[in-house]
Amino acid sequence: MTDRTPGTRSSSGYSAWRLIAEELRAEIGDGRLRAGDRLPTEAALAERFSVNRHTARQATATLAEDGLVESRRGSGTYVTGEAMRLHRIGVRTRLTKSLGEKASASGNLRVLNSAVEDAPTDIARRLALDGGKAVRIETTRSAGGQQISMSTHWFDVSRLPDIATVLRRTGSVTSALRESGVDDYVRTSTVVGARHATASEVAVLDLGQGAIVLVTEGLDSLTDGTPLQHVVTRFAAQRVRLDIEHPRAD
């Protein structure tokens, strides 16, 4: 990477310090840098990324704003050990279970808003709506005092007309579905991607500018294969790792 305009931008036109911060954030996320580890000095980072020390300083400053590192006077900058949570995505994907027993209490899932409306064409097809209306619900999830994720849920309103009201009361998708007569459901498909957080995601998830979100797009179905829920979840990448479980071979 070359800092073509000193302290500001890379050759791609994107701020060099943001690229450095993302690289270090990824190293913290995948365990190459662990809680208590000392970051390389500004001089070492400047040499590694071919930038000046001011640019390296900006990169570590944005990580400090995100709570990933802390500066200790006379000692250096260290990884703070912000909790990384593991979410397992399998046949019976349950985010509450992944986040631990304490996350099951009502209040960790919060409904931001809901509406009955026409679903986008691709979602209507996946839910087999046949032109019918869908319930859209926007939620956030927290654990251990941290914002973990935000989700957009779509349900067939003819099957689950009161799902938003029940979800607000129970604070759990599984519990809300059970009260609505759905005793069991399975994950049919999951697509995973990553991108920069939008302005609204930065605000809701309490992230720094330039932060990365992991995006999962899933379809849940009844055990007989009937589509039940289309859900898109954006996870704060600095706080959550995803484990995709594979079914056992017979």
Q: What is the pLDDT of residue 247?
A: 62
Question: In terms of DSSP bridges, do strands 212-221 and 227-236 run parallel, antiparallel, or are they unpaired?
Answer: antiparallel
The pairing of strands 146-156 and 186-196 is unpaired
Angle at 201 between CA 204 and CA 15, to 5 degrees: 125
pTM above 0.75, yes or no: no
Residue identified by tokens 């986040």 is 99
**Domains (range + CATH), the chain:** 16-79 (1.10.10.10), 85-244 (3.40.1410.10)
Residue 103: how many other CB atoms lie within 10 Å: 21
**Weakly modelled stretches of the chain, pLDDT under 70:** 1-14, 81-84, 93-107, 246-250
| pLDDT tens for each residue of 74-104 | 888 988 866 567 777 777 766 555 555 444 4
Asked if residue 151 lies in contact with residue 173, where contact means CB atoms within 8 angstroms, the answer is no
Angle at 66 between CA 199 and CA 192, to 5 degrees: 60
Three-state DSSP class for residue 43: helix
What pLDDT is attached to residue 57?
92
Phi, psi (5° rounding) for residue 184?
-155, 150
Count of all residues that appear for the chain in the document: 250
SS3 211: coil
Structural contact between residues 192 and 231, judged by C-beta atoms closer than 8 angstroms: no
Do 81 and 36 form a contact (C-beta atoms < 8 A)?
A: yes
DSSP state, residue 235? E
Q: How many whole angstroms separate alpha carbon 231 and alpha carbon 224?
A: 19
pLDDT at res. 213:
92
CB 87 within 8 A of CB 242: yes
